[in-house]
Every structure is written in C-alpha cells, then in structure tokens.
Structure 1
Amino acid sequence: MSQGKKMFLAGPFKSLVNSNTGIMGKHEKQKLINLISFFETRGFSVHNAHKREGWGKDFMTPEECTEIDFKEISACDLFVAFPGAPASPGTHIEIGWASALNKPIVLLLEEEKDYAFLINGLGTIANVTFIRFRTEEDYFSQLDKVYLQIV
C-alpha cells in the first residue's frame, strides 16, 4: 500500500450529540476514533467531520461543512460510512456524492437494522462493499480482509 491515500469517514453526527453536554457520547466517539486509527495505521489520511468539529462542540456552519465535505469526498481514494438507521440525511447526501464521483465505497451496516432501499441497492450502480456486522470486532475483521481490494 502506497502512502498518501485519502479516506473520508462519514456517519450520523447531529443526532448523536448529547443536548446536555454538546458532544457525542463516548461509545459513538470511540467507534469513530478506532476506525480512524485503523486506516491511519494502514497509510491513510482520514478526513472525519466529527473529529474536525470537536465531536459536536465546534459545529461549522452548513455552508462551511458542505463545501469542505464535498471537496474532501472529491479528493478521497476511499469513502467509508455508517449510513444510519434511522437514516442520517447528511450521511446519505455524502454517500450520494461518493457514488456520483465513482469513489470506492464501504458501507458499514448493522445487522437487524433497516436501511433505505437506495442504500441496499447502491451496489447496482456504484463500487460498494457492504459490511454487515453485529459488533465492532465483526467489521474490523471484515475490513482487514477487504481493504486492500477496495483501494
């Protein structure tokens, strides 16, 4: 694997920010930190809005984050996302951008949750690897097996 690969990590955000603390819960934050670390140790530079925006304490304006996220997705070599169930509107827009830009996509789908029809069918028009999981260990095990094939 050559150095310098870029990855965009997407997932639900605003819905996971605690209204009392103004930041994401520790469990959800740690899931993202673990994924960032997984890819960084494999030579990727990872862009993640959650981290960029202080896990909720430093939200950008819609205009700022939309422009940055589109530019980062345009420049990435790999797009990875938790689509959200229920659906995360922002994440679904980012998935749409990644598919329209012909980016390799990995969607992390929790078993026994319902996802939008267009998420389930995305593989018919885009380069998508679906990883279905019950636990964090499940998707890391699968990511370890497929990440070389998807970049």
Structure 2
Amino acid sequence: MSRYDQAAGLPLAGLDIFVGGPIQHAILPDGFASPVRTPIATALSVAEAHGASTFSAHRVEEFGLSTASFTPSQVSVRDFRWMKKCDVFVPVLPVVDDKLVRTDGTHIELGWASALGRPIVIITDQPFSASASHLLKGLSEVGRVEVLPISEFLVDPNRLVELIIGVTHTHRIAIEASELVSTGA
C-alpha cells in the first residue's frame, strides 16, 4: 500500500501539514479572535479528516490560553523543527477591518518555508490586502505558492485539499516511485 492512500478516501494520508497563523495579536480579553480561530480550526479539521498529520501552535498553545507558558526559544525551535519536517505549509492570514491581522511569526515561517523549498498554500483575502507587504505579494516569484481566498475556503473547505494535492503532486510521484523500488515491485 502506498504511503498516500487516495483509494481509501484519505488523499492527504502520509503528508505532514504545518498550519500557521496569528496567535499573539489574535488573543483578546474575551478569548481568541473568531475571524482567526475559525479558518485555522477549519484548516486543521479538513486536513486531518483527509488523512494528513498536522502541526499547529494554535492547538499546542490552546488558541492562546497557554501561549504565555512557552518561551521564545521553545516556540522558535518547535516551529522551525515542524517546518523542516512538514510537506506543506498552510498559513492562514485573515483580514479584519481591511488589514491583515498582525502575525510576525507567520511571516518568519513563510520565509523558512520558501527557503526550505516547502510548498505553501496561503489562505487569505484576494486580491491581497493593501496592508500586505511586497514580499508577501511577490512570494510566488521565489517559491511554490498557491493562494486560496478565505471566503472561498470557508464556503468549501475541501478546496484546501485540492490545492495541497496539487502542490505535492511531484513530491508524491517521487515517494511512490521510491516505494516501488524499495519493495522490488
């Protein structure tokens, strides 16, 4: 059986997906900002429902409830380790009041992902918010980047699965070929 068992209805089986997005600037006095929490939780749920393993600071840090218990060193080492291990990076970049929610860490992770050659599927408004940096808007010039409009994603979360399959196609072919060689098939 292939590492990627699409026949069993799990098209993302065998993939490690790192889902990122704002944390510190999404923590409000009455809880975690819903326009941030909803798309991140949905991305995690849909990836896992289709067989992927996920890495998520939001889950580990309980959507902000335990963020203060982690040191900057712990977060940096953990997230960089996840980035090196993941097959795809899925950053969620919500827009509230016509501005991207500030997320310094996610932008660092975008740099790591592109430098490490990880495919990226960004979930955000399209066209990019005017508050988005030139580097974010031009990231597809230096990396494998797909953008899924957040409004489309919230209506049809399975669009994320389709895009992940698309950005990992070449990677999957190589893995399956190496499995055939190793089994002598």
Same topology, TM > 0.5: yes
Instruction: Kindly indicate whether the alpha-carbon contact (under 8 Å) linking 2:39 and 2:92 is maintained by their aligned counterparts in 1.
Output: no
Name 1:51's counterpart in structure 2.
Answer: 59
The structure that is helix-richer by fraction is: 2
Larger Rg: 2
Structure 1, unpaired ranges of 5+: none
Structure 1 residue 86 displacement after superposition: 4.6
Name 1:40's counterpart in structure 2.
Answer: 48
TM-score computed with the length of structure 1 as normaliser: 0.87
Measure, in 2, the Cα distance between the counterparts of 1:88 and 1:6: 22
* Distance change >3 Å, CA 103–CA 139, structure 1 → 2: farther
Equivalences for 1:109-148 in 2 at 5 Å?
109-111=124-126, 113-114=129-130, 115-134=132-151, 136-138=153-155, 140=157, 142-148=159-165
Equivalences for 1:62-73 in 2 at 5 Å?
62-73=72-83
Give RMSD over aligned pairs.
2.0
Name 1:149's counterpart in structure 2.
Answer: 166
TM-score computed with the length of structure 2 as normaliser: 0.72
Structure 2, unpaired ranges of 5+: 6-12, 95-99, 169-185
Q: Quick one: which of 12, 21, 26 aligns to 1:16?
A: 26
* Distance change >3 Å, CA 73–CA 37, structure 1 → 2: same
Name 1:6's counterpart in structure 2.
Answer: 16
Q: Quick one: which of 86, 89, 98 aligns to 1:76?
A: 86
Tell me the alpha carbon deviations over residues 40-76 of structure 1, each in whole angstroms, 9 at most, x when there is no partner.
0111111110111111111111100100000001000
Count of matched residue pairs: 149
Q: Aligned to 1:137, what secondary structure does the other structure show?
A: helix
